[in-house]
Amino acid sequence: MSKKHNRSVTKALFKKEILDVIRDKKTLIMMIVVPVILYPLIFIVAMQAMVSISGSMEAHTYNIAVSGDQGDAFVKKLTDSESVDYSLNVTFYDSDFAYKEALSAEETDVFVSCETEDGKPLYRVYYLSSVTNSSYAADIVWEILGLLREDITREKIEAAGLDYEDIIEPISYEGVDTASGEQSMGSILGSILPFMLIVSLIMGTMYPAIDTTAGEKERGTLETILTLPVTNRQLIVSKFLTVAIIGIISALINLISMGGIGLYMYNLMGMTGQSGGVSLVKFVPSIIICVLAVLAFSLFISAMTMCITAFAKSFKEANNYITPFMLVVMFIGFIGFIPNVELNAQMAVIPVANICLLIKNIMLFKINYSIIALVLISNIAYAALAIMFLSKIYDSEAILFGDMKNGIQIFEKRSNIKKGGVPSTGDAWLLMAVTILLIIYAGGMISVKSVTAGTVTTQAIILLLPLCFAIYTKKDLKKTYSMKKTDALGYVGGIVLMAGAILIGLIVTAIISSIFPESAVSASAETEELMSMGFPVTLIIIAVMPAFCEELMFRGFIFSAMRNRYKISTAIIIVAAIFGIYHMSIVRFFTTGLLGAVLCYAVYKTGSILPAVIMHFLNNALSVIESYYPEQVGKVMPFLVEETVTVSDVLITALAGVVLFALGILILKHTGKKISLRD
């Protein structure tokens, strides 16, 4: 086939796809109605709501209840400083005033008890933080109390014959914002715009992606297309172009709509004299880069959504698959709101996050062309990879004609789920996504308060979530979790293999931390908190719990799902990669990935999860022992603690690692079989 004809085939297919997609009402609504009508509508409603709220605030009269012997001075100050913004209604009560009831009945907005304690006036402000008026009233009281304190301080200082200003404010200071109007505006735009763009791009590409893949299967036109003399690549490229172009158009419509609202606001500010001399011309280069970023990202997101929806057989199923993906992408999109996340070379290759940070940076006029190029190229590269993957999928007849084993079962009615077997890969992927989100949210939030509680929560999530999944989908738990006994040789082989992997891991870590020196800093505060709990507790939290919980999830649930569908080597690589990613550190990715692979291998060869649990425990226990007893460990294994490493140390460690690794594999290969001497 000539190149020219090749291109005209793709063009013809593209024409068909685009005609089909734009005649779909759902796509049009998502593409045009939402941005053009809904956004301004939301904006107007929000403006109205704000105006009416601030209006009601001004007119409000706050009921203030006062009791106690120090009340007079406070009330005097209160009435003196009454302003035009609000009015106050002060009532005196006895000290046995039932303030709780009055506050919750909203008869009183705030109650101030003014007692004398230890010879000093003590004001207690009772309010209900859940009630807006009560919070506002408390703020007012707060301010008045501050003024009161200032008055008394002044009186006392002057009574002592000193100069008030000199004592209280021996130095003075003030801040001067040197940000230009453009910079302030850019910082606002930079945090909101990326998120809005990402959401609108997903919304725009979602329907065409589903329509051209799962929708085509559901409507029965896929087989028609397959009768044509076209290659998979032509087919995929035409579909991809359609989805990407619809995505781009909808993103641009979104941009224009948002831009319109922005301009409207700008004019509004200009009228009230608050725009601070913003020159819109300065934003032109930013907007051009922004459009480029939108183009690159729409290629990426179209390819990704198509990869997901291609697995589905119907619109409904595709929707189920795409929703968790959307949530993950939107979650990453929040990165624009997080301060101090820098767009460096590492960040530039992380999908979604890189686009967010890029748009944020260019709105702040931080333009680094090599980073911009890296972001754009990485997005295009990911899209190309996804397209290659898709072309492969469309080759596979099982996906086109047959039933698939990788469906998501958790969305099925429970009565429709067949009993027994191991989880589907769809369930495994979904479980992974949900677990990681939960760990980041729940585990992470608790970790801020207490590392111990955070770690325990994370482990509990890892144990319980898959278990609930498995029980709900009526899986064979023994099989899913490889609950089987194995012979002593399995344990020996596993432990030897682990020892080898740990040594190799040391070398890998050393190499990687020399490439990324900044990431080698360990979280010492966390370690300290854990170590303050004592050795046995630390051992349980760091070694025993992860050994059980992580093994049951990764080598149990996920590994058995992957094994059931993929070749064993593919399954091990997938689980190892997931395990590496789960630890969320670039330095540790390769070592944890290696350990993950080794643990999978042990489960695969022995057919039992138990050696993996022991191996995992030993690995983690080693690091606990190392941090408690560095001297003793240093005596036995000097290479673990030594500051300076010689070349011979590295070589010996590497050699020992490789030998132990090979020996472990050899032993595991013979597990369950008798090793005859003749062999």
Contact residues for another protein (CB under 8 A)?
A: 1, 5, 8-9, 11-13, 15-16, 19-20, 23-24, 219-221, 223-224, 226-231, 397, 401-403, 405, 420-422, 564
Backbone angles phi, psi at 116, to 5 degrees: -105, 125
532-535's contacts with Cβ under 8 Å and 24+ in sequence apart are 533/452, 535/624, 535/628
Q: Give the residue from 610, 597, 599, 572 showing the smallest Cα distance to 491.
A: 610
Pick between residue 419 and residue 449 the one whose CB is nearest to another protein: 419
Distances (CA, A) of 147 to 141, 142, 154, 364: 10, 9, 11, 39
Backbone angles phi, psi at 92, to 5 degrees: -90, 140
Cβ-in-10-Å burial (0-12, 13-18, 19+) of 249 comes to middle
Contact 498/615 with Cβ under 8 angstroms?
yes
What is the DSSP code string of 620-665? HHHHHHHHH-HHHHHHH-GGGT-SS--HHHHHHHHHHHHHHHHHHH
Pick between residue 19 and residue 440 the one whose CB is nearest to another protein: 19
DSSP, collapsed to helix, strand or coil, labels residue 116 as strand
Pick between residue 175 and residue 402 the one whose CB is nearest to another protein: 402
Tokens of 353: 């996050």
Pick between residue 1 and residue 42 the one whose CB is nearest to another protein: 1
Least distance between another protein and beta carbon 560 (Å): 10
Least distance between another protein and beta carbon 476 (Å): 8
Least distance between another protein and beta carbon 484 (Å): 16
Pick between residue 6 and residue 513 the one whose CB is nearest to another protein: 6
Least distance between another protein and beta carbon 571 (Å): 15
Pick between residue 52 and residue 224 the one whose CB is nearest to another protein: 224
Helix (H) or strand (E) holding 62: strand 61-67
Distance from chain centroid for Cα 643: 35
Q: CA 71 to CA 122: how far, in whole Å?
A: 10
Least distance between another protein and beta carbon 577 (Å): 25
Pick between residue 26 and residue 77 the one whose CB is nearest to another protein: 26
Distances (CA, A) of 109 to 93, 147, 659: 14, 20, 75
Which residues does 673 contact at the CB level (< 8 Å), separation at least 6? none
Least distance between another protein and beta carbon 395 (Å): 9
Least distance between another protein and beta carbon 218 (Å): 10
User: Where are the strands (E) in 76-178, listed by range?
Assistant: 87-92, 110-117, 120-126
Least distance between another protein and beta carbon 557 (Å): 15
Least distance between another protein and beta carbon 406 (Å): 12
Q: CA 203 to CA 326: how far, in whole Å?
A: 9
Least distance between another protein and beta carbon 418 (Å): 9
Pick between residue 4 and residue 674 the one whose CB is nearest to another protein: 4
Contact 71/97 with Cβ under 8 angstroms?
no
Pick between residue 1 and residue 388 the one whose CB is nearest to another protein: 1
Q: Give the residue from 66, 71, 47, 53 showing the smallest Cα distance to 133.
A: 53
Pick between residue 77 and residue 233 the one whose CB is nearest to another protein: 233
